[in-house]
Amino acid sequence: MPDHKGNTDKSNKIKLKSSIDRVVWTAGIGCNGAEVGLEINTHFVGNNSEAKIEISDSSGKVFDTIKTKIAGNYLLTKIKIPEKAKDELYAEVKLSKHGLSKKSNCLYVYLPPKIKNLKWDKQEAKRGDILKISADVTDTYEGAECKVLIFEHDSDGAHDLITSLKTNVKNQKIEVDWEFQFQTDTKNIPTDQETEKGYKNPEYFFRVDVGGVYADSDLLKFKDWIEIKFLNSKQEPRSGIEVNIKFPDGTSQKKTTDDDGIIIFEDVPPGKFIIESEE
């Protein structure tokens, strides 16, 4: 802290010394193409002070220069490790208006893992299905930690994260089980007539992330089922009643109730439906 001596009965103007106190990576290692956090702490540096971050290797070769601003004497940003970086990577923060600069600790760089053959064991899922998720993961060490992120797909790119699972690479593969459950009420799914783009069956994909390098799977489609039971005024089953169901995608299907007055429609598009019967 600055030390000031002077009279207490009058105003005094003192100059506070600015400094860059800390520039550190949020991880010790990272692979090419992955994102790693960089944390910067300063002292007596004004809000919105311009900062320049130079990303270089041990030889001094600069791969990238990032312009940003300090707020509240603190900055946490993400840096993408250059594809051509090898062995060691450094971030040097420069505050030109303050005449300050400081270099980070070393980030050790390794070649990125390869993630291929991402598979669901089914192409369609019903509520309660246990799905097996798998992928081949090579060019990394045995036991490497891996995240499996499951998303509900959005055609505009605003995918909803459903859950995050953790597993480890074993024999250059990852496998994990996940129980499928539809998270919201199917009545909220727009029907074919309620949207200009037409009916959209909910779909899902998973992402395998190893050290910030990731790949995405193909889409999994959600299929629902409907069970309807017909009873008379005495609450007795009504058999032989023909029923037509109009599904939310605009298609329809006819069935007849069994001896227990029941009809079951399997593998149907989820959403609001209309029941039609002469009864």
Which string of DSSP letters, residue by residue, matches 83-136?
Answer: TT--EEEEEEEEETTTTEEEE---EEEEPPPEEEEEEES-SEE-TT-EEEEEEE
Of 201, 222, 243, the residue at which a domain comes to its end is 222
- In a domain? residue 60: yes
Q: What is residue 4's predicted lDDT score, i.e. its pLDDT?
A: 62
Of 74, 94, 110, the residue at which a domain comes to its end is 110
- In a domain? residue 212: yes
Range of the domain at 72: 19-110
Q: Do 105 and 30 have their domain in common? A: yes
- In a domain? residue 6: no
Q: What is residue 248's predicted lDDT score, i.e. its pLDDT?
A: 94
Domain total in the chain: 3
Q: What is residue 146's predicted lDDT score, i.e. its pLDDT?
A: 94
Q: Do 69 and 118 have their domain in common? A: no
Q: Do 248 and 214 have their domain in common? A: no
Q: Do 123 and 189 have their domain in common? A: yes
Q: Do 90 and 167 have their domain in common? A: no
Q: Are 19 and 40 in contact (CB under 8 A)?
A: no
The residue type of 111 is L
Of 67, 92, 110, the residue at which a domain comes to its end is 110
Q: Do 85 and 72 have their domain in common? A: yes
Q: Do 35 and 124 have their domain in common? A: no
Q: Do 131 and 215 have their domain in common? A: yes
- In a domain? residue 213: yes
Q: What is residue 244's predicted lDDT score, i.e. its pLDDT?
A: 92
- In a domain? residue 12: no
Which string of DSSP letters, residue by residue, matches 211-278?
Answer: TTEEEE---EEE-EEEEEE-B-TTS-B--S-EEEEE-TTS-EEEEE--TTSEEEEEEEPPS--EEE--
> pLDDT for 47-56, tens place per residue?
899 999 999 9
- In a domain? residue 10: no
Q: Do 119 and 216 have their domain in common? A: yes
CATH code for the domain of 106? 2.60.40.1930
- In a domain? residue 8: no
Q: Do 48 and 127 have their domain in common? A: no
Q: What is residue 140's predicted lDDT score, i.e. its pLDDT?
A: 87
Which positions of the chain have pLDDT values less than 70? 1-6, 279
Q: What is residue 3's predicted lDDT score, i.e. its pLDDT?
A: 66
